[in-house]
Amino acid sequence: MIRSMTAFGRSEQTDELGSFLVELQSVNRKRLEIEVTLPRELTPLEPHVRKRLSQALGRGRVTCSITARLAPGQAQTVEPNEPLARMIKQSYERLRDALGYDTPVPFELVARTKDVLTVQNESLEVERVWRSVKVPLEAALEQLVAMKRAEGEAMSTDLRARLEAILEHGAAIEAVAPRAVEQYRERLTERLRELAVELVDNEDRLVREAAILAEKLDITEELVRLRSHVEQCRASLASDAPSDGRTLEFLAQEMHREINTLGNKSADIEITNRVVLAKSELEKIREQVQNIE
């Protein structure tokens, strides 16, 4: 089972502490990178959020944004500054007397003066708030994973078809290879005869030299390894366990190495064409696996 690294999840829940909105977005990265954005009063929850995301996700750059609208009184209290209020009232009274007025100082005038009433933030109980935030986080995470799996299924179908095409190209190359080696042997023998007349009478020497070159051009080992890598990829795609994108990237790299060697070892036009087609399929595979978690 494979999962894409590209996905999105969103959930909002409300309880007695307030309303909490969680948005998750994941994109490609070589490793797991988690970025958490929280309001100041929820900052202590960051380790909890990171731990939960690390448990659920393998790799990718994951952005988690949490916003909160706390219920009244959950994180703030209002306290009067009585000494300051008395000083302000007394100052207004002295000013009133100095100007010759006899009216009382209005209460609203004192109460509205800056810093007479102060808002104080209280520390929220971390575990209590975490229980509230975890509900929308889990729901958003469920959406994120569901999207990862849906896209992963589509990618898996595409990858299986391309792996099958590579196997077909490999089988065609294997069928043509003996003919290509024989043709190369004949051309080599003819060329040696043209360049070294003295070797014409030494057929054994020609046969040995041709055999040595034919052995160097043998592609059996590359075809065996190519089939092995393809089968490992297919097994990973068929497994119920989560596939490791890094492993599939490695296998794609090794398949590229074997296909390159196949092309380098043969000048046969049909083999060359098959190598080009196999490389085209493999390039699409390499692009796909870079988005697998």
Give the E-state strand segments of the chain in sequence order: 7-15, 18-27, 32-37, 60-70, 76-80, 117-121
Would you say residue 140 has pLDDT above 90? Answer: yes
| Lowest mean per-residue pLDDT among 6-10, 70-74, 93-97, 280-284 | 70-74
Mean pLDDT along residues 248-261: 94
Predicted pLDDT at 275: 94
Distance of CA 224 to the CA centre of its chain: 32
What are the φ/ψ torsions at residue 5 (nearest 5 degrees)?
Answer: -85, -10
Residue with more model confidence, 26 or 127: 26
Q: Residue 200 is which amino acid? A: V
**Which is nearest to 85 in space by CA: 38, 41, 118?**
118
Distance between CA atoms of 202 and 16, rounded to whole angstroms? 98
What are the φ/ψ torsions at residue 116 (nearest 5 degrees)?
Answer: -70, -40
Predicted pLDDT at 278: 96
Mean pLDDT along residues 126-139: 93
Mean pLDDT along residues 1-30: 94
Query: Which band of pLDDT confidence, cut at 50, 70 and 90, is reported for residue 100?
Result: confident
Distance between CA atoms of 99 and 97, rounded to whole angstroms? 5
Predicted pLDDT at 222: 92
Q: Are 275 and 173 spatial neighbours (Cβ–Cβ below 8 Å)?
A: yes
Mean pLDDT along residues 32-46: 92
Please tell me the class of the 7-73+125-148 domain.
alpha beta
Query: Which band of pLDDT confidence, cut at 50, 70 and 90, is reported for residue 147?
Result: very high
Domain residue ranges in the chain = 7-73+125-148, 76-121, 150-289
| Lowest mean per-residue pLDDT among 16-25, 94-103, 271-280, 282-291 | 94-103
259 by Cβ neighbours in 10 Å (0-12 / 13-18 / 19+) ranks as: buried
Length of the chain: 293
Distance between CA atoms of 281 and 162, rounded to whole angstroms? 6
Query: Which band of pLDDT confidence, cut at 50, 70 and 90, is reported for residue 205?
Result: low
Would you say residue 197 has pLDDT above 60? Answer: no
| Lowest mean per-residue pLDDT among 60-69, 184-193, 200-209, 276-285 | 200-209
Give the position of tokens 């590209």: 6
Residues 266-284: pLDDT tens digits?
777 888 899 999 999 999 9
